[in-house]
Amino acid sequence: MHRMDIFKGQEVIEFSRRFQSDLDCKKYLAELKWKGGFSCRKCGHNGSQIRKDFSRTCNKCSDTESAGADTLFHKVKFGLLKAFHICFEMSTSTKGLSALYVAKRYSINHKTALSFMHKVREAMKSSENHPMKGDVHVDEFVVGGQEAGHTGRSYGGKKKKVVCAVELTESGKVKRFYALKINDFSAKSLKPIFENHIDKEAKVTTDEWKGYRPISKEYDINQIPSALGLNFKAIHTMIHKVKSWLRTTYSWVSKRHINRYLSEFSYRINRSQNKETVFHNLITRMVKAEKIYAQNII
Ligand SMILES: [Zn+2]
């Protein structure tokens, strides 16, 4: 079978050379979408004609399906070329970008940029198929508002609360990172990060917060004193990074969308060793995802 020429690397000039028009992007999407062969979405027939714009027309019922149909690129208002460039920047930049920046740089409407970027974040969401193993640290933090002077978990109601987990390498470096919005610091709220992202065999370490005690019935949790964070250096560095990223890139992150921003952050962290294929990985996810209508996004 024909092997797809996947785009590799983070080089901007090379990227602009490869994708010069909407048609170049359609070709890429079509190759990805139908690499396992064509099957008509209406009648299931396998025979088709390939059109000039790489869409396919079924030989039996004549239904024509575009390369972007039923993907997260479905009816993208500003064209695929801009959409590909935004995906490239969002996946390869280390900093992330705001919708205001994207709107200006690609001369598109701010709301349109925001809605498309949320679709990209949906595609960046963890599959939850690869739970963290080995040495895992779990901690919580708050975003927004003042934090000085707080040591307990009795933070005010306005701040957004987040629980996060890191998988560590043997030398104590961050291998993977996940974070989830929580409503409070109870065991019930802390549990989903375990269920979604941590293997039952993992060696989990937390500080002495009582909210973790009920969870230790099902998970191997060792609770140790935080010692002002000294015992949790790697996870605290990550918390510092995600907070300053949220603060500098997005002055205001709504409670409704915070998980999307956390997905974006985790996606880039967890793929920092696979930068060569990160763009292709993102486009693959955009193609596989169900289409999401703008009204469900914002
Ligand atoms: Zn058909």
Q: What is the pLDDT of residues 106-144, one digit of tens each?
A: 999 999 999 999 999 999 999 899 999 999 999 999 987
What's the pTM? 0.90
Could you tell me the distance, in angstroms and rounded to a whole number, from the CA of residue 80 to the centre of ligand 1?
25
**Tens-place pLDDT, residues 247-260:** 887 766 777 789 99
Neighbours of ion ligand 1 (CB under 5 A): 40, 42-43, 45, 58, 60-61, 63
Could you tell me the distance, in angstroms and rounded to a whole number, from the CA of residue 47 to the centre of ligand 1?
8
Could you tell me the distance, in angstroms and rounded to a whole number, from the CA of residue 122 to the centre of ligand 1?
30
As a whole number of angstroms, the distance between CA 148 and CA 145 comes to: 10
**Tens-place pLDDT, residues 70-96:** 999 998 999 999 999 999 999 998 777
Could you tell me the distance, in angstroms and rounded to a whole number, from the CA of residue 61 to the centre of ligand 1?
4
- The H or E element spanning position 87 is helix 80-92
**Tens-place pLDDT, residues 14-46:** 999 999 999 999 999 999 999 999 999 999 999
Edge-to-edge strand ranges of the sheet holding 48-50 = 48-50, 56-58, 64-65
If one compares 184 and 151, the residue with the highest pLDDT of the two is 184
If one compares 248 and 195, the residue with the highest pLDDT of the two is 195
If one compares 53 and 2, the residue with the highest pLDDT of the two is 53
Could you tell me the distance, in angstroms and rounded to a whole number, from the CA of residue 48 to the centre of ligand 1?
8
Q: What is the pLDDT of residue 292?
A: 66
Could you tell me the distance, in angstroms and rounded to a whole number, from the CA of residue 66 to the centre of ligand 1?
13
